[in-house]
């Protein structure tokens, strides 16, 4: 009996996909740091029973329609805004993601970004390495305290709640804004629900963890930044397009806010000439929210488990398009 064919759009460690290679014929794009070429992706989609994709891959209607044998796309990310979900469902293709396994790791990075921006950690490290540290002075690279300040979390999902838990350890006041109330966060962490405008006006640190949707695109625009405290620091560990980057740059330059910590950008990888990267009060990271060895391996393994489940006719652990199940039952 012929094994199913699986294409993976980046080179992953053999140990992480061991369960999959026992079950299927697996082909990987041979590069770890170079995105799969579009034409190559389309040609593989025509042959594949399943694909494991990266957040940087555009898995649109053209890919879905090319994949006449395609049964599942497992995205190595919790987000899936790179995938045409409606087209996948229409073509009977399951879409899976990797939530939960990266929650604490992403929360760690988010809070590290907040601390780095507040205490000017990156700027201070570069100051020492450049040989500029000549003497001690009372306000040398003085930042702002984090403890006992107010954090405003926009997007109180699992990662938002994990960030709130870390903020509680710093005796911070926790505000949040979400599509719906998170009673668990309110009860366990003392988080207070408020409107988006109230959160912006009251928070010393505004942390964006909301998914990218048509409603949240450019949620953080010129008006939003002007509502924030001039001493506030903005942190984005969600998706770049939730922020109007031109408006953020203007807010930082004009002193509408004090600083920013960014792990995501509208276009990734961000060009080194981008204006935001020229500002000393910006800490910029290359989208490494979930990038610990342990967590990335767990994400890869979860992708493999989801692929094997679908190809075996079972329900995957982390199905995104629930409508696929209904369509499957009606076939």
Residues with a catalytic annotation lie at: 239, 268, 287
**Which residues have a Cβ under 8 Å from the Cβ of 161 and sit 6 or more positions away?**
182, 184, 185, 189
The b/e string for 43-58 (b: 16+ C-beta within 10 A; e otherwise) is: ebbeebbbbbbbbebe
- Please state, in angstroms and rounded to a whole number, the distance separating the CA atoms of residues 233 and 100: 27
The 10 Å Cβ neighbour count of residue 186 is 16
How, if at all, do strands 72-75 and 94-96 pair?
Answer: parallel
Beta carbons of 2 and 286 less than 8 angstroms apart: no
């Amino acid at each position: 009996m012929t094994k199913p064919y699986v294409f993976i759009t980046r080179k992953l460690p053999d140990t992480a996909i061991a369960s999959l290679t026992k079950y299927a014929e697996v082909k990987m794009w041979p590069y770890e740091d170079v995105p799969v070429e579009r034409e190559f992706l389309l040609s593989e989609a025509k042959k594949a029973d399943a694909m494991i994709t990266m957040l940087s891959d555009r898995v649109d209607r053209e890919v879905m329609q090319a994949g006449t044998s395609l049964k599942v796309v497992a995205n190595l990310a919790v987000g899936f805004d790179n995938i045409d979900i409606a087209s996948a469902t229409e073509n009977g293709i399951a879409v899976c993601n990797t939530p939960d396994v990266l929650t604490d790791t992403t929360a760690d990075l988010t809070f590290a970004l907040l601390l780095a921006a507040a205490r000017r950690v990156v700027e201070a490290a570069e100051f020492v390495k450049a040989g500029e540290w000549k003497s001690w002075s009372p306000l040398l690279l003085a930042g702002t305290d984090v403890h006992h300040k107010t954090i405003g979390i926009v997007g109180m999902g699992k990662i938002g709640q994990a960030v709130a838990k870390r903020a509680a350890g710093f005796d911070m006041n926790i505000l949040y804004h979400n599509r719906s109330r998170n009673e668990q966060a309110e009860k366990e962490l003392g988080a207070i629900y408020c409107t988006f405008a109230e959160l912006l006006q009251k928070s010393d640190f505004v942390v964006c963890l909301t998914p990218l949707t048509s409603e949240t695109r450019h949620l953080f625009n010129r008006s939003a930044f002007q509502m924030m405290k001039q001493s506030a620091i903005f942190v984005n560990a969600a998706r770049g397009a939730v922020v109007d980057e031109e408006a953020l740059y203007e807010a930082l330059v004009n002193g509408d806010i004090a600083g920013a910590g960014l792990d995501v950008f509208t276009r990734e990888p961000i060009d080194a000439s981008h204006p935001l990267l020229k500002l000393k009060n910006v800490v910029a990271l290359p989208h490494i929210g979930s990038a610990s060895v342990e967590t990335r391996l767990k994400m890869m393994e979860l992708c493999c488990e989801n692929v094997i489940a679908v190809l075996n006719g079972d329900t995957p652990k982390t199905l995104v398009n629930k409508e696929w199940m209904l369509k499957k039952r009606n076939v």
